[in-house]
Amino acid sequence: MTSGTAYVGRFAPSPTGPLHFGSLVAAVASYADARAVGGRWLLRIEDVDAPRCTKAAETAIVRQLSAYGFEADQAIVRQSARGDHYEAALEELKGAGRLFACNCSRKMLALAPRNAVSEVIYPGRCRDLRLTDAEPATALRLCVHDDANAQVIFNDRTLGELSQNVAIEVGDFILRRADGLYAYQLAVVVDDAAQGVTTVVRGEDLLMNTPRQIYLQRCLSYATPGYLHVPLVRNDASEKLSKQTRAQPIAEDSVIATLDAAWAFLHQPALGNFTSVAQFWKRAAELWNPALMRSTGAASRGNLE
């Protein structure tokens, strides 16, 4: 793990609603991981999907984080203000012959093969159609070459060594959607590189994104950060807590108890009695041990295929 001031971590929520307990667990892990080594912790608002994001949700998230004692080490970065950076990355990939326009609809891909998590494996339908990105209803896809770079092997600090062949298990993936919005895969890779992020701590639900992000990092000659994926919090129906599953916002009148519950969910050592948020974070930084976390899903497989 990167140590000391060289460590840069981040928490990057999407403002589609206030933080719930699952969000808090990921935030606690990312913050403790940074503070345990005296590293820096950044807050990035991932509002690239503008139709789903609201300013009210962002305001609520920032307020909640403040109430729970999170302190960012630089000004908030918002993806909605970084379109020029994403466009520059697309231009670089286009100049290298790595992009192509795609007009495939969901219906067209309905019979395409799917991977282990039921994602469509893009069959390459539009690679040779010579569409232009100015045509209506076209997305931009990254051409994934079936070469050595496509075999991505990385070490997750809790799950161990994981691997995936992006060409075989994902195929050409979207970097700019047909509606003109930049895809998560592009925005997160560009932003992590721009902010000098050395360690990505996030939920296991994003684990399957990691190989394609590493592949894109290679295409853009970016450094690859370290990864630590955190167990997911699930409801009584074994569904991941989310806005879609009606997860309740974390309370701001029971901060200490809720922080303690998040710490316990991560299977961390007992902190003893504490009466303030500042005491919680001081002890959390001293006792943080990600090796104690336990995977809650099939993400612990060594082979993501």
Closest CA to 46 of 11, 7, 87, 89: 11
Element (H, E) at 222: none
Strands (E), the chain: 8-11, 40-45, 77-78, 99-102, 139-142, 151-156, 160-165, 173-176, 199-203, 226-230
54: tokens are 């609201």
pLDDT recorded at residue 210: 98
Compute mean pLDDT per 10 residues along the chain, 305 residues long, and list them.
Answer: 76 95 97 98 96 95 97 97 98 96 93 91 91 85 94 95 96 96 98 98 95 98 97 77 74 92 96 92 96 67 60
DSSP summary character for residue 249: B
Cβ neighbours for 54, distance < 8 A, ≥ 6 positions apart: 15, 16
The sign of the CA dihedral 27, 33, 36, 42 is negative
pLDDT recorded at residue 133: 80
The sign of the CA dihedral 277, 282, 285, 287 is negative
| Residue type present at position 223 | A
- The per-residue pLDDT for range 141-164, each reduced to its tens digit, is 999 999 999 999 999 999 999 999
pLDDT recorded at residue 78: 97
| Side-chain half-sphere exposure of 136, counting CA atoms within 13 A | 0
Cβ neighbours for 76, distance < 8 A, ≥ 6 positions apart: 43, 44, 45, 62
pLDDT recorded at residue 246: 66
First to last CA, the chain: 26
50: tokens are 């503008």
CB count within 10 Å of CB 9 equals 26
> According to DSSP H, which parts of 161-301 are helical?
166-169, 184-194, 210-219, 255-265, 277-287
Q: Is 170 helix (H, G, I), strand (E, B) or coil?
A: coil
192: tokens are 């992590």
Q: pTM for the whole thing?
A: 0.93
Q: Which CATH number fits domain 4-300: 2.70.98.60, 3.40.605.10, 3.90.76.10, 3.40.50.620?
A: 3.40.50.620
- The per-residue pLDDT for range 243-294, each reduced to its tens digit, is 666 678 998 889 999 999 999 999 999 998 888 999 999 999 999 999 998 7
Contact 169, 305 (CB under 8 A): yes
pLDDT recorded at residue 300: 44
